[in-house]
Amino acid sequence: MSTGSTSPSPRALHAGAPGHPARLWQGLDDGSGRVRCSLCAHRCTIAEGKRGICGVRENRQGRLVSLVYGQLVAMGVDPIEKKPLFHFYPGSGTLSIATRGCNFTCAFCQNADISQETAAAGLRARVTTPETVVAAARDSGCVSVAYTYTEPTVFMEYASDVAQLAASAGLGNVQVTNGYMTAETLAVLLPEDGPRLLDAANVDLKAFTDAFYRQQCGARLQPVLDSLVRLRESGVWVEVTTLLIPGLNDDERELRDLSDFICSELGADTPWHVSRFHPTYHLLNRPPTSVATLLRAREIGLEAGLHYVYTGNIPGQGGEDTLCPRCGAVAISREGFRLRWNRASGGRCAACGEPIAGVGL
């Protein structure tokens, strides 16, 4: 069990920032005024006046509040391929939103300017209602709303309110997430007796060793694996991304174990994106991932039985196209985040009729 901060938070949110009632927490019955958050697998115990590991949930006189409800630091239209989600309404636009905050402390964070501690100092947020987000998505012709860039779990109260309106408006809801949410959070997003608030997710499976998660992310591996299985069992369309970092998570045996897990526990139709690392944030002493490493990782995934394995951040190498798992024909062609053409209309290969897995193909 993790414990919330016990010293003044270094994050950019100032003391006394507006708070919105948080969900998924309970007070400890020990007279201490502490609360326990059950939003993510850290399950922080937070003292009065302190914040959890995410830096955006604060104990105020024995009640937990979110400091980022409606406080958007990013909102714009992206191609769905940028998430990356290659098998969810290919070629469509998704309105992408984010607040600040993250429950991981990845040394290689690619969005540290909006997610991580003092890197976000001075960052200004724009107060945006859920109604405004959904209207913007509809006005821009988007098919979905994406909760992305930072970790959507830490702004769940806002994301779920947006998602309810989006679902009512006929829009999909997608998350780009580290997968560290609890079963309780997934129950909010995927209720048994109400509209589902999550249709697709790209989950970062950052490595396949607990040591990597502890040393590089300040987290653990098993909760991520548990979330992946729960999401898949709940009928959410799942794609997986692994950023390959030279010398840290690119060992061939580890990649075999990771791809075997995807194939056996999530299914052979689960897309796996292996992406190229570039030195960033605190991890500047590692070289960029070689093209050869990415191409070999793709081979490992295909050898494990996965039908769809993609290479990211190396456009033009052919690893962005969707190939028919039966005849090998190109069913969907891409270049970078751009859809060139789609010959999987109706979810079948135009060459042989084999089903191509996905939603809205």
Contact at 8 Å (CB) between 342 and 91?
A: yes
DSSP state of 213: I
Peptide bond before residue 84 is cis, with ω within 30 degrees of 0:
yes
R_g of the chain, CA atoms, integer Å: 20
Contact at 8 Å (CB) between 212 and 206?
A: yes
Residue 91: count other Cβ atoms within 10 Å of its Cβ: 17
Q: Is 68 helix (H, G, I), strand (E, B) or coil?
A: coil
Cα 314 versus chain centre, distance: 21
Statement: the pTM of the whole predicted model exceeds 0.75: yes
Q: Which of 180, 232, 262, 236 is nearest to 2 (CA)?
A: 180
Residue with tokens 């840290």: 248
Return per-residue pLDDT of the chain as tens, 361 residues: 444 543 333 344 444 457 899 999 999 999 899 999 999 999 999 999 999 999 999 999 999 999 999 999 999 999 999 999 999 999 999 999 999 999 999 999 999 989 875 445 567 889 999 999 999 999 999 999 999 999 999 999 999 999 999 999 999 999 999 999 999 999 999 999 888 999 999 999 999 999 999 999 999 999 999 999 999 999 999 999 999 999 999 999 999 999 999 999 999 999 999 999 999 999 999 999 999 999 999 999 999 999 999 999 888 777 999 999 999 999 999 998 899 999 998 899 999 999 999 999 9
Give the CATH superfamily of 71-318.
Aldolase class I (3.20.20.70)
Indicate the domain borders of the chain: 71-318, 321-361
Q: Which of 344, 316, 341 is nearest to 331 (CA)?
A: 344
User: E-assigned strands of the chain?
Assistant: 20-21, 25-27, 35-37, 45-46, 57-60, 63-66, 71-72, 74-79, 93-98, 126-127, 144-147, 172-177, 200-204, 237-244, 272-276, 309-312, 322-323, 330-335, 338-342
